[in-house]
């Protein structure tokens, strides 16, 4: 196991390197950061001074080489726009994003799996059909539309919940969190629902499909015929067989929520990382984009590593193996 994890993490070094190269190439292809950074009425002299200062006049490979050299010394560069270390900028935003991501994951699991099981066990019940219909709604609307619709309903018309922002935060070990105060929680409700909507629908559907497969399979029919209790069937067979795709999807969705919650964060003015990366992409603030995506790659590697480990505990036949 330890060897497996170590090997996987060593692969991540390569990936991080590849990612940084891709970002350099990508930003180079999109445009010249100088045009978005410099004041529109800047003189040519000012432009040139900045181009030289940021090293944008050098050939790309040289800029990349310089970046790598600094990165090896632990310096991922400073934001062009904010002149702050890119990592520090990102680190400020991490707690807010993680809080939303975990909350929406929790909501998805706590609601999605039971509802899916229910709909799977009683596929023809009216209530099951309702669950399926409503869950189709969850992924049929773009997140920004749903988000603003909820704001209109719950904040503007009913006045129950705040329209945006993070609300009161409490510091735990120096990290600000919202979920410990009532005000903070109120601010979290709508963004969390907005983030969870798609995931929830998908998990309900996956669980239902998996459950149905198992319920109709011969061995469960046989078990039923033998008079085993329903609960046992659920635990032993259904969950075991549906948890593999569910774990995979939850891992994927969790990663996506952390990395790209931009729409929800924009609509709800939530000070998370997704907004930072979108803003950085739109002004081509390369140091921030590179640092951010390098972190995200590591995060996805870790998430998928955890998912792979979960596989092997769920089903011992799925051995942990990796390139020999």
CA max distance for the chain: 86
Query: Is 260 one of the binding residues for other proteins (CB under 8 A)?
Result: yes
CB 119 within 8 A of CB 131: yes
Q: Which of 71, 234, 236, 278 binds other proteins (CB under 8 A)?
A: 278
CB 269 within 8 A of CB 222: no
In the chain, DSSP assigns E strands to 170-172, 175-177
Task: Please report, as residue ranges, which positions from 107 to 146 form the binding site for other proteins (by CB under 8 A).
Answer: 123, 129, 132-133, 136-137, 139-145
- Angle between the N-to-C axes of helices 60-72 and 2-30, in degrees from 0 to 180, rounded to the nearest 10: 150
Alpha-carbon span 312 to 321, nearest angstrom: 10
Query: Is 91 one of the binding residues for other proteins (CB under 8 A)?
Result: no
Stretch that binds other proteins, among 57-65, 105-113, 224-232, 255-263 (CB under 8 A): 255-263
Nearest 10 degrees: Cα torsion 176, 180, 186, 188: 50
Query: Is 177 one of the binding residues for other proteins (CB under 8 A)?
Result: no
Query: Is 41 one of the binding residues for other proteins (CB under 8 A)?
Result: yes
Q: Which of 57, 62, 183, 322 binds other proteins (CB under 8 A)?
A: 322
Nearest 10 degrees: Cα torsion 274, 277, 282, 287: 170
Q: Which of 6, 9, 22, 171 binds other proteins (CB under 8 A)?
A: 22
Query: Is 320 one of the binding residues for other proteins (CB under 8 A)?
Result: no
Query: Is 62 one of the binding residues for other proteins (CB under 8 A)?
Result: no
Q: Which of 109, 212, 237, 306 binds other proteins (CB under 8 A)?
A: 212
Query: Is 324 one of the binding residues for other proteins (CB under 8 A)?
Result: yes
CB of 237 to other proteins, least distance (A): 13
């Amino acid at each position: 196991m330890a060897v497996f994890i170590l090997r996987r993490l060593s692969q991540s070094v390569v990936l991080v390197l590849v990612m940084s190269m891709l970002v350099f190439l990508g930003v180079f292809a999109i445009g010249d950061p100088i045009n978005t950074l410099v004041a529109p009425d800047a003189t040519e002299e000012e432009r040139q001074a900045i181009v030289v200062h940021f090293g944008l006049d050098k050939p790309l490979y040289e800029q990349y080489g310089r970046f790598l050299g600094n990165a090896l010394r632990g310096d991922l560069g400073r934001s062009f726009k904010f002149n702050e270390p890119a990592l520090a900028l990102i680190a400020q935003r991490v707690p807010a994003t993680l809080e939303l991501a975990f909350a929406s994951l929790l909501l998805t699991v706590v609601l999605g799996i039971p509802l899916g099981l229910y709909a799977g066990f009683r596929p023809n019940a009216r209530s099951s059909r309702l669950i399926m219909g409503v869950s189709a709604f969850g992924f049929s609307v773009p997140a920004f539309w749903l988000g603003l619709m909820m704001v209109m309903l719950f904040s503007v018309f009913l006045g129950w919940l705040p329209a945006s922002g993070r609300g009161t935060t409490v510091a735990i070990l120096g990290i600000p969190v919202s979920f410990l105060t009532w005000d903070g929680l109120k601010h979290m409700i709508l963004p969390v629902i907005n983030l969870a909507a798609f995931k929830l629908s998908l998990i309900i559907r996956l669980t239902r499909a998996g459950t149905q497969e198992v319920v109709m399979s011969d061995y469960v029919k046989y078990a039923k015929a033998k008079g085993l209790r329903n609960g046992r069937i659920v635990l032993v067979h259904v969950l075991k067989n549906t948890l593999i795709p569910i774990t995979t999807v939850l891992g994927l969705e969790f990663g996506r929520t952390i990395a790209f919650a931009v729409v929800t964060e924009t609509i709800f003015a939530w000070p998370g990382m997704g907004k930072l990366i979108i803003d950085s992409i739109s002004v081509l603030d390369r140091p921030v984009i590179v640092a951010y995506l390098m972190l995200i790659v590591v995060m996805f590697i870790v998430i998928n590593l955890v998912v792979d480990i979960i596989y092997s505990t769920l089903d011992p036949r799925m051995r942990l193996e990796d390139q020999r």
